[in-house]
């Protein structure tokens, strides 16, 4: 209703189309601001008095995402009134005045930001951040209808893990210094440009404000990479973050969180507390702050002057290839195509902070070993040719940014994979996630469910998603069908109906085994061989869901 998948997809250029309520008595000023906002494809509704604006809000007919309200000496009352009344709406105050007390009052009344005029484009461009922030923080309480899509959109994006690694060191908010800061700002009357746009309510860990609370402990301590060689070392692989966020949103299947991406730091000094075992029997509790604080946690100042610690502190940290990490790895590999899956690129695609090329190389080595094991000999045929210049790569060099463009191809898989690692309790600490607890017969024997087909989503082969009876993924409407689709992907109509509707295990087993063990053969599903994976790539790029409905 409020926000379907299509809606989300439709809002892929997210900030655009943001509905901005502009309240400014000065028509010239209003026009100016308006035009700037419109240049960035925001939709602006201008009002010159608070009553009109408020009634527009209450009339439901229009929903706004954010408000920009001008305050001046003569009408400050009206501005405040608006501010107090429209609490649901993230409201940015703006003024020519430099009055600290006014600014303070605005903030106190709930303004999300105070911007001094003139409002340059830089300042206006990022106002959407307030919208997102609000959408997240409103959690249980008031989340106005207009913000829901925003939130879901963001959640969705975060689930894609397109950038979860992005947010690092928590901004040091020094809240208590607010006033001094403002005051200073006060001084540089013209230099205001130095601060870039809105002071951005850092989406930071995204979930932070919710219940995970101590997510920040994952933030790495890259700030102190004293001994040069460290750089790779001070790792905190925080793939968890994205998921935490996901978890936080009740929407998302709560049950699952099988990732414990921890980098266990093996402190030579052996602080005893073998963090490695920290997993405890309750995986879902695993993210307890204590773990992180001891392991990947940021040493902060405390550790800096820790005299005793010999600072060997973070030395050899072992990368724990959790389901999450592994999933990223797989995605990267599949995206690159087997031929091009080399450590550096994989690393790049995984975008996991702290992970080194060596780590990846090592894992890749294992990957290949297992894979080779599956395909005893033949894989030489379709493998390597080292110099192969042929790139079908739609290797997207995706810049890391706070809100990257939507990539549909990541959407479904992510969700699916996500749902599949469910069963938090079922694999305690050491159990390999790819040796899933309860897979039916069609799983390759050795448990390494690597995806032999570059163009194909590993989720189909590599990560069987068995929709639990009522399971964790139930909240994703498409996940169930997605599962089938994933298997039947691209085949158009190759599969017997029974496959989808009543999966006969023998059939599945046979098909899968054959496909896996003989990749050089035409796929039984009617798939083209990997040589046409550009096609597959395209399909997958569009999301598995585009596959024909399971009945045909």
Query: Contact positions toward DNA, by CB under 7 A?
Result: 316-321, 342-345, 357-359, 361-366, 368, 384, 432
Chain centroid offset of residue 357 CA: 22
Q: Which is nearer to DNA, 272 or 387 (CB)?
A: 387
**Whose Cβ is closer to DNA: residue 128's or residue 367's?**
367
Hey, what are 378's tokens?
């033949």
What phi and psi, each to the nearest 5 degrees, are found at residue 135? -60, -35
Closer residue to DNA in complex, CB, 329/499: 329
Work out how close the CB of 162 gets to DNA at its nearest, in angstroms, rounded to a whole number: 22
Distance CA 416, CA 419 (A): 5
- Identify which of residues 372 and 518 has a Cβ nearer to DNA in the complex: 372
Cα separations in angstroms, 158 against 78, 110, 225? 38, 27, 28
Can you tell me the distance from the alpha carbon of 65 to that of 69, in angstroms, rounded to the nearest whole number? 13
The Cα–Cα gap between 106 and 403 comes to 28
CB nearer to DNA: pick between 128 and 292:
292
- Smallest gap, in angstroms, from Cβ of residue 198 to DNA? 37
**Are the beta carbons of 298 and 219 closer than 8 angstroms?**
yes
Nearest distance, CB of residue 434 and DNA, angstroms: 9
Residue with tokens 């869901």: 545
Min. distance of Cβ 96 from DNA in angstroms? 52
Residue carrying the six token digits 């060689």: 229
- Least distance in Å: CB of 319 to DNA? 4
Cβ 316 to DNA, closest distance in Å? 4
383 or 394: whose CB is closer to DNA? Answer: 383
In the chain, the N- to C-terminal Cα span, in Å, equals 28
* 383 contacts 338 by C-beta, under 8 angstroms: yes
* Cβ 517 to DNA shortest distance, Å: 20
For DNA, the closer of residues 348 and 509 by Cβ is 348
Name the residue nearer to DNA (CB basis): 157 or 346.
346
Q: How far apart, in whole angstroms, are the C-alpha atoms of residue 20 and residue 44? A: 5
Q: Whole-number minimum distance, CB 377 to DNA, in Å?
A: 14
Report the nearest approach of DNA to the CB of residue 111 (Å).
Answer: 47
Paired strand residues for 23? 47, 69
**How many residues are listed for the chain in this entry?**
552
Q: Cα angle at 247 between 243 and 250, to 5 degrees?
A: 150
How near is the Cβ of 276 to DNA at its closest, in Å?
Answer: 11
- Torsion angle of the four alpha carbons 441, 446, 449, 454, in this order, in degrees rounded to the nearest 10: -120
In whole angstroms, what is the distance from residue 270 CA to residue 315 CA? 12
- Nearest residue (CB) to DNA, 68 versus 319: 319
- Looking at the Cβ atoms of 72 and 234, the one nearer to DNA is 234
Residue closer to DNA by CB (options 45, 395) is 395
Q: How many CB atoms lie within 10 A of CB 316?
A: 11
Rounded to a whole number of angstroms, the minimum distance from the CB of residue 442 to DNA is 21
The 3-state DSSP class for residue 264 equals strand
Q: For residue 369, what are the contacts with CB-CB under 8 A and spacing of at least 6?
A: none
Residue number with CB closer to DNA (27 or 344): 344
Cα separation, 369 vs 361, in Å, equals 12
Q: Which residues pair with 47 in a beta bridge?
A: 23
In the complex, what is the shortest distance from the CB of residue 320 to DNA, in angstroms, rounded to a whole number? 5
How many angstroms separate the CA atoms of 544 and 408, rounded? 9
The DSSP letter of residue 45 is E
Q: Which helix (H) or strand (E) holds 361?
A: helix 357-374
């Amino acid at each position: 209703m409020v926000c379907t998948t299509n809606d989300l997809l439709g809002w892929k250029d997210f900030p655009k189309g943001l509905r901005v309520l502009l309240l400014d008595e000065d028509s010239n000023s209003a026009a100016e601001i308006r035009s700037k906002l419109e240049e960035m494809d925001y939709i602006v509704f201008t009002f010159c008095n608070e009553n009109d604006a408020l009634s527009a809000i209450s009339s439901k007919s229009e929903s706004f995402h954010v408000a920009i309200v001008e305050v001046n000496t003569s009408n400050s009352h009206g501005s405040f009134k608006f501010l107090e009344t429209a609490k649901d709406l993230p409201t940015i105050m703006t003024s020519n005045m430099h009055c600290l007390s006014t600014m303070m009052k605005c903030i106190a009344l709930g303004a999300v930001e105070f911007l001094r005029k003139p409002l340059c484009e830089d300042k206006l461009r990022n106002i959407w951040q307030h919208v997102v922030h609000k959408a997240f923080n409103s959690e249980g309480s008031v989340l106005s209808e207009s913000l829901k899509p925003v939130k879901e959109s963001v959640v969705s994006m975060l689930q894609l893990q397109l950038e979860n690694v992005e947010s690092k060191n928590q901004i040091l908010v020094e809240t208590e210094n607010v006033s001094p800061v403002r005051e200073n700002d006060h001084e540089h009357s013209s230099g205001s440009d130095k601060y870039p746009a809105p002071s951005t309510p850092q989406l930071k860990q995204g979930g932070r404000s919710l219940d995970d609370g101590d997510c920040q402990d994952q933030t790495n301590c890259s700030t102190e990479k004293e001994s040069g060689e460290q750089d790779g070392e001070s790792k905190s692989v925080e793939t968890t973050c994205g998921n935490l966020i996901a978890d936080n949103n009740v929407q998302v299947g709560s049950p699952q969180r099988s990732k414990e991406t921890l980098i266990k730091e093996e402190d030579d000094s052996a602080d005893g507390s073998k963090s490695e075992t920290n997993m405890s029997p309750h995986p879902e509790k695993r993210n307890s702050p204590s773990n992180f604080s001891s392991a990947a946690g940021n040493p902060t100042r405390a550790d800096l002057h820790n005299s005793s610690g010999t600072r060997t502190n973070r030395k050899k940290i072992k990368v724990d290839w959790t389901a999450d990490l592994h999933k990223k790895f797989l995605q990267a590999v599949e995206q690159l195509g087997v031929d091009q899956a080399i450590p550096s690129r994989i690393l790049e695609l995984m975008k996991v902070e702290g992970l080194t090329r060596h780590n990846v190389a090592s894992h890749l080595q294992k990957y290949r070993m297992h894979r080779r094991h599956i395909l005893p000999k033949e894989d030489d045929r379709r493998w390597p040719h080292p110099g192969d210049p042929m790139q079908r790569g739609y290797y997207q060099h995706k810049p890391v940014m706070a809100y990257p463009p939507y990539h549909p191809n990541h959407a479904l898989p992510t969700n699916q994979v996500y749902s599949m690692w469910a069963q938090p309790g079922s694999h305690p600490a050491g159990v390999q996630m790819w040796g899933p607890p309860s897979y039916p017969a069609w799983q390759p024997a050795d448990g390494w469910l690597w995806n032999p087909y570059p163009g194909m989503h590993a989720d189909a082969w590599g990560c069987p998603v068995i929709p639990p009876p009522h399971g964790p993924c139930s909240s994703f409407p498409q996940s169930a069908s997605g599962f089938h689709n994933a298997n039947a992907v691209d085949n158009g109509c190759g599969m017997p109906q029974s496959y989808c509707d009543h999966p006969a295990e023998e059939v599945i087993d046979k098909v899968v085994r054959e496909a896996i063990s003989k990749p050089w053969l035409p796929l039984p599903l009617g798939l083209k061989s990997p040589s046409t994976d550009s096609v597959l790539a395209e399909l997958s790029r569009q999301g598995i869901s585009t596959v024909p409905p399971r009945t045909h």
